[in-house]
Chains A and B, each alone.
Chain A
């Protein structure tokens, strides 16, 4: 039985959860299965060396390909996963904030004895739960293939660090459209802000290292606070976690304050 907004949201999104969990698991499994080819391929090294600096940012450091933990950090968790999972989080955040209002369902829910704060928090918690489930799918994809790959071992603690920071980043990516959707009730506003953040972050983080003037703004990228390879080598930088958590918390509080008072279409 569906007992709460939290439960109803998870039920409504069951196919989304299934699809994205399988999708992330497949991507993880695919990238892990490329490990033997990538870390043994000298020709690739030569190719990358001859690339312009800006394109090297897309590939990552060749040294990172020699060890499995830095390989999955650079090839899965760095850039690719944040982009894919970020897009997923944005779709989810928009769906959970403005879709019901656009359809007129939000008034139906608010005509019940359900407070606006409770509704917003339960939906946000459902979003966090969905992101966590898809991350479990990602882990299943990695660990489903690892036993079949020579030399593919990774310390559980390192993987836990990567997953924790990925989760924090995905929640931040999802909270941006979610909060803006709840604040404005407008899909266009939530979509515009999200696209700006994800594309901007991608461009700043990818090309910021090679293009001087972009480099000055690299700290504005959300991806700056998720240095996957550094997390493997040196652990989580507390400041990064605080920034990602802080962005999420501030947006959530502002969303609650505004949503409690605004008109609902």
Chain B
């Protein structure tokens, strides 16, 4: 895909703060109409990537483009006419009411705000209280209404549902689903696998400032398998070929072996039958949520 057809394009983007590299050599392209989940542990570089994308930060190296145009802090606002943005920890203008803020935002966008009433019905935000008096969840509702107001071509969201109750989370996911049908683009970071799997076409995994995975949700779905837990007094037992996320533990002359197995089940059965002095065995579904958590765990351990 060439640059002009990509809504978001990052080429070898690096962002350093002094000697610390928050984002290192990240390249990606997101075409129009894609809903992309952006996942990774805290500190992986997701928010820094989003801040660079929106022109809050300068890229130390590389090139950031939105709608085919290079993004620099001095000119980022030109692209923002087509972008909605909300973050879980977003600070809205505290002295304004929600209604005042949304009216102000509508004037800045200078575009249609036809979906204003529809968004208010879906999120039911408290509009007539000063924003600084609202709960986090209510502020978040206003931020989401603001992000989708005027149906911008691209919506960038940084952990958008972190302050929402389940009903509002569902309302948000419905809007994203409708956005998808209308061919709009959404780029959202999230810690919730379920919402990523529900609405996204593609998942990007950041780890230590690098883009480690770029997979479709179908590919991510295939990452499931079996969680195997074996106890044996034969301490030389080796896990089968293809085992992943292996842990060994020896207590009271008993070896406990845990691993994830995604291969042929007949091979697993043969291996289990061959285990000497087998004391206990447990095979359970290794669901996607666990696969997702294991990615996070490896991140945190490395950190």
A113-B81 contact given A105-B91, A261-B73, A264-B56, CB 8 Å threshold = yes
Check A43 for interface membership: any CB of B closer than 8 A: no
1/0 per residue, CB under 8 A from A, across B71-87: the answer is 01111111011010100
The verdict on A104 contacting B89 (CB below 8 Å), with A113-B77, A114-B77 known, is yes
Set of chain B residues within 8 Å of A114, measured between Cβ atoms: 77, 80, 108
Residues of B within 8 A of A67 (CB): none
Bound-complex Cα distance A105 to B57 (A): 15
Q: Which residues of A contact B94 (CB under 8 A)?
A: 103, 105
B171 in the interface (beta carbon within 8 A): no
A150 at the interface (CB under 8 A from B): no
Q: With A and B bound together, what is the CA distance between A108 and B147 in angstroms?
A: 11
| Cβ contacts under 8 Å, B80 to chain A | 111-114
B109 is an interface residue with CB less than 8 A from chain A: yes
Partner of B90, one of A11, A104, A112, A264: A104
Kindly state whether residue B58 has any CB partner on chain A within 8 Å. yes
A105 to B78, CA, bound (A): 19
User: In the complex the two chains form, what is the Cα distance from A109 to B94 in whole Å?
Assistant: 12
Segment of A1-9, A78-86, A229-237, A241-249 engaged in the interface with chain B: A1-9
| Complex interface residues of chain B between 61 and 76 (CB less than 8 A to chain A) | 72-76
Which residues of the partner chain A approach B93 to less than 8 Å between Cβ atoms?
8, 12, 105, 108-109
Closest Cβ neighbor of A260 among chain B residues: B74
Q: What is the number of contacts between chain A and chain B, taking CB atoms within 8 Å?
A: 85
**Is B92 a contact of A108 with CB atoms below 8 Å?**
yes
Residues A264 and B73 in contact, CB atoms below 8 Å apart: yes
- Residue B192 interfacial (CB < 8 Å): no
**Interface mask (A242-265 → B, CB under 8 Å = 1, otherwise 0):** 000000000000000000111110
Instruction: Judge if B265 is at the interface, Cβ distance under 8 Å.
Output: no
Contact A263 B58 (CB under 8 A): yes
The B-contacting residues of A in range 100-124, CB under 8 angstroms, are 103-105, 107-117
B103 touches A1 (CB 8 A): yes
Partner of B104, one of A8, A113, A115, A262: A8
Contact (A104, B91) CB under 8 Å given A3-B104, A110-B76, A264-B56: yes
Q: How many residues of A contact B (CB 8 A)?
A: 26
Q: Check if B57 sits within 8 Å of A113, measured CB to CB.
A: no
Number of interface residues of B (CB under 8 A): 33
Contact with A along B261-276 (1 / 0, CB 8 A): 0000000000000000
Verify if B24 is at the interface (C-beta below 8 Å from A): no
Chain B: CB-nearest residue to A115: B77
Whether B193 sits at the interface, judged by CB under 8 Å, is: no
B164 within 8 Å of A (CB atoms): no
> Do A262 and B73 touch across chains, with their CB atoms under 8 A apart?
yes
Determine the distance from Cα of A92 to Cα of B89 in the docked complex, in whole angstroms. 26
Quote the shortest CB–CB distance from B290 to chain A (angstroms): 34
Q: By DSSP majority rule, is chain B's interface helix, strand, loop, or mixed?
A: loop
Chain A residues whose C-beta falls within 8 Å of the C-beta of B103 in the assembled complex: 1-2
Contact B77 A112 (CB under 8 A): yes
A92–B93 alpha-carbon span in the complex (Å): 17
Which single member of B57, B74, B105 contacts A112 (CB below 8 Å)? B105
Q: Which residues of A contact B83 (CB under 8 A)?
A: 111
| A11-B95, A260-B73, A263-B73 given; A113·B89 CB < 8 A | no
In the docked arrangement, what's the CA distance between A107 and B75, Å? 14
Task: Give the distance in Å from the alpha carbon of A3 to the alpha carbon of B101 in the complex.
Answer: 10
- Any chain A CB within 8 A of the CB of B246? no
Give Cα A124 to B235, complex, Å: 74
Residues of A within 8 A of B176 (CB): none
B48-59, CB under 8 A of A: which get 1 and which 0? 000100111110
Across-interface contacts of B108 in A (CB, < 8 A): 112-114
Query: Can you name the residue of chain B whose Cβ is closest to the Cβ of A2?
Result: B104
Most buried by A among B58, B72, B75, B104: B104
Q: How far is the CB of A64 from chain B (nearest CB, A)?
A: 43
**Can you list 9 A-B contacts (CB < 8 A)?**
A11-B95, A103-B91, A105-B92, A107-B91, A110-B76, A111-B85, A117-B74, A261-B73, A262-B58
| Pairs A-B, 10 closest by C-beta atoms | A104-B91, A111-B85, A260-B74, A113-B80, A113-B81, A112-B108, A12-B95, A115-B77, A263-B57, A105-B91
Beyond the given pairs A108-B92, A117-B74, 20 more chain A to chain B contacts, judged by CB atoms under 8 angstroms and listed by A's residue number, are A1-B104, A2-B103, A4-B107, A8-B104, A105-B92, A107-B51, A108-B91, A110-B77, A111-B54, A113-B78, A113-B80, A113-B109, A113-B110, A114-B77, A114-B80, A115-B75, A263-B56, A263-B73, A264-B56, A264-B57
